[in-house]
Structure 1
Amino acid sequence: MDTLDKTDRHILQVLQQDAKLNTKEIAYRIGLSVTPTYERLKKIEKLGIIKSYVTLLDGEKLGKSLAAYCNVSLQLHSLPLLRKFEAAVRSLEEVMECYHLAGNYDYLLKVVVDDMKSYQHFITNKLATIENIAQVNSSFVMTEIKHTTAFQLV
């Protein structure tokens, strides 16, 4: 982050709020002309700080009304078995996020599905078929209090 100055961080802050803005609109919001804004944006992209431009969807409106966090413990912890588990999880469309943890559990999965019946199907017919799982503990989201994808930069 040392390669980014205050203006670069301002560009990133603006883009995190609305990635559809074009260079002219970004330039207006940060108080620069279009050319230096464009050059700064290209530099930031080249540094790999911007991973991708995406559209965030409302899962509720798409019928994805059940979110669960699954704490997963594995039986054995050899590197090949960890990699095999991770590859299997990557292929599960219901898994929105997966983190390898230090602590009481080995992995944390965020799973989003239509309803409890869909979740039961996911657990029984998909997650349970992955070898080496010792235990799965599920917690269900009742109300989302805060969800952000934006880092505070300025």
Structure 2
Amino acid sequence: MKELDIIDKKLLNLLQVNARLTTKQLSLKLNLSPTAVYERIKKLERDDYILNYVAMVNPQKVKKDFIAFAMLQLAEHSAKNIADFEKNIKELPEVVACFHISGSYDYLLKVNLEDMKAFRKFMVEKLTEIPHISNTQSVFSIHEVFNYTALPIN
């Protein structure tokens, strides 16, 4: 995969801010023809620079603005236990992000729910039912200062 040129970088930055811009609008910002912009976008998609296009939903409007971060330890770190855990955690819709991490804990989860009562129910009825978890620790968001979705491309 060849390195991105300055136009591709600008294009990725523009699309991350507003993926609904038309090729015509993008072409005016990049001083290219709409066809050239279209071809660049298709190449960026083919080369997996662009993974998906999404709509960002307001968590308050859908009553999912209670954010918990749960750190988990596994009892054993065998390949099978790790694979089993990762398969099981993907089935929980409340978990919007999961990272295998270094340090004292093995995984960090971001969980969006309605409130503390919903989080307790999630912990008791879902998370603790997953095999191989030996320890958990949770913290809760008090206020979201920022949560960028765009990755600056320089």
Pick the TM interval, shorter chain: over 0.9
Matched, 1:102 2:99: no
Deviation per CA, 1:81-134: give whole Å up to 9, x if none: 110000000000000000001111000000010011100000000000001111
Deviation per CA, 1:66-92: give whole Å up to 9, x if none: 100000001111000110000000000
Q: Distance in 1 between matches of 2:134 and 2:103?
A: 15
The one-letter amino acid paired with 2:33 is S
Deviation per CA, 1:20-61: give whole Å up to 9, x if none: 112111111222111111111111111011000001111012
Give the drift of 1:5.
Answer: 0.2
1:139-154 map, 5 Å: 139-154=139-154
The one-letter amino acid paired with 1:75 is A
The one-letter amino acid paired with 1:88 is N
Runs of 4+ in 1 over 6 A off after TM superposition: none
Q: Which residue of 1 aligns with 2:138?
A: 138
SS at 2:150 equivalent: coil
1:20-31 map, 5 Å: 20-31=20-31
Q: CA RMSD in A?
A: 1.1
Deviation per CA, 1:128-151: give whole Å up to 9, x if none: 000111111000000001111111
TM-score by length of 1: 0.96
Q: Which residue of 2 aligns with 1:9?
A: 9
Q: Which residue of 2 aligns with 1:116?
A: 116
Q: Distance in 1 between matches of 2:62 and 2:38?
A: 35
Structure 1's unaligned 5+ residue stretches are none
Give the drift of 1:3.
Answer: 2.4
Structure 2's unaligned 5+ residue stretches are none
SS at 1:93 equivalent: coil
The one-letter amino acid paired with 2:25 is E
Q: Distance in 1 between matches of 2:151 and 2:131?
A: 36
Q: Which residue of 2 aligns with 1:39?
A: 39
Q: Distance in 1 between matches of 2:145 and 2:64?
A: 17
SS at 2:61 equivalent: helix
Q: Distance in 2 between matches of 1:65 and 1:50?
A: 27
